[in-house]
Amino acid sequence: VVEPPRVTRGPKSSTFSEGGELELSCSTTGQPAPTIEWLINGEPLQRSSNVEIKGSSLFISPVEKRHAGIVQCVATNEYGSHSGYTIVRVNPKQHIGGKRNKQENNHNLPGIQKHTRDGGHRNNKEIYNRRDNVLVPPNQPNVTRLSDVSVMVRWSVPENDGLPIQFFKVQYRELGHKSGKQSKWMTANMEIPNHVRSFEVEPLQPDHWYKFRIAAVYSNSDNRLSKNSAKFHLTRMNGFETNSKPIPLLTNTEAVASDKVLLMWQNPDRSADIDGFYVYHRASTSAGDYIKTTVEGKNSTNVTISHLQPETTYEFKIQSFSVDAASEFSKIVSQKTLKAVTEPPVLQTALPDTFPKNAESARNGSVYAIVGGAVGGAALLAVLGAIFYVYKRSSIKQNRDVSQNQ
């Protein structure tokens, strides 16, 4: 008797300490017996020095912050696949004796920048303004829950002719701090490329209220802030809960240029209440963070990802989202970009110095040729006439001598 696989008991929602040990397990059924695969945030886990997989159990030691998020147990046999998931939280190590490095290298962003007593930074801004360099800030961001400890922040920039933006930074602040004091704005480390309009913020605290804003850093190293987002409550999901958001099915990828890849997908449940899709990509050789692209609209089925490197293999994954949650990730699909097209060099032929430089020179040359030809022809006729004359006189003299002899 054959039976499609099914996860009958998913991994339990748990909180682990950074540097500690993690152990998760799931129960499955199916005939033939399914194989088990573990994924964290849509990325398959491979056995390594700190990751061990035994049957349907997962062991990680030591635990790292990157292990936080959505953990999936995927059961697969030849008749299908099924998954269960949970949220794993990782409590970071306490850093004693100084602030965490999240506030380093922030290009004097408001909220955390240091000012000299004479207000040097402010004076610089006034100079930029007097020079009429227009700095157009990003629009107010929108926020979507991804997990118990993370959110996706999305924004846009109005069309404008102002100074170009070099990159973005995301800032966030916890509201209702227990001490009653106003919490400081925190700044995420990553410098977000100027063509990206979304960013995942983690780790956050579940059941807490937050506000978010976007800082744009311009070509003159000045910056402008967006309006603060609306207050956002990061809700907690407890236990093994079914995610109602449909998991998109990546159906096709196609390299359309040396820096562009077209992705196409299907939404298995068009009746689901979703706002759009998050598309993640990164180079296959990179272990860094994924770059996120937001595709608005529940009926969207494709997007072209640009600003890629030629002849490079990229990994892609996608999830649907609404304001309160996001789906599990699709399977990861790889695609290599095309080879860069180089224009053949234009061959230039060097002309000899004696070649006419322009039409005027050409006409002068023609005139000289005609005159020279005429003079030469006249000289030739003169020579021929002289020869004929001498020959004629010689003939007449010969005839006269013959007559006298007779």
Summarize pLDDT for 329-343 with one digit per residue, the tens.
888 888 999 988 776
CATH number, residue 226: 2.60.40.10
* Domain, as residue range, for 197: 142-234
Quick one: pLDDT at residue 162? Answer: 85
Residue corresponding to tokens 């290599």: 336
Q: Are the C-beta atoms of residues 302 and 263 closer than 8 Å to each other?
A: yes
- Whether 341 is in a domain gets the answer no
Per mean pLDDT, which range of 254-263, 346-355, 375-384 is the poorest?
Answer: 346-355
Cα 300 from chain centroid?
20
Mean pLDDT of 11-27: 89
Whole-angstrom distance, CA of residue 4 vs CA of residue 33:
9
Q: Which of 67, 91, 115 is a domain's end point?
A: 91
- pLDDT at residue 245 is higher than 70: yes
Q: Is 122 helix (H, G, I), strand (E, B) or coil?
A: helix
Q: Which of 69, 91, 113 is a domain's end point?
A: 91
Chain segment 121-147, per-residue pLDDT in tens: 444 443 344 445 788 999 999 898 888
Provide the number of structural domains found in the chain.
3
Q: Kindly state whether residues 229 and 300 are assigned to the same domain.
A: no
Question: How does DSSP classify residue 257?
Answer: E
Whole-angstrom distance, CA of residue 159 vs CA of residue 185:
28
- Whether 332 is in a domain gets the answer yes
Q: Is the pTM of this model over 0.85?
A: no
- pLDDT at residue 286 is higher than 80: no
Whole-angstrom distance, CA of residue 71 vs CA of residue 10:
10
Quick one: pLDDT at residue 402? Answer: 53
Quick one: pLDDT at residue 326? Answer: 83
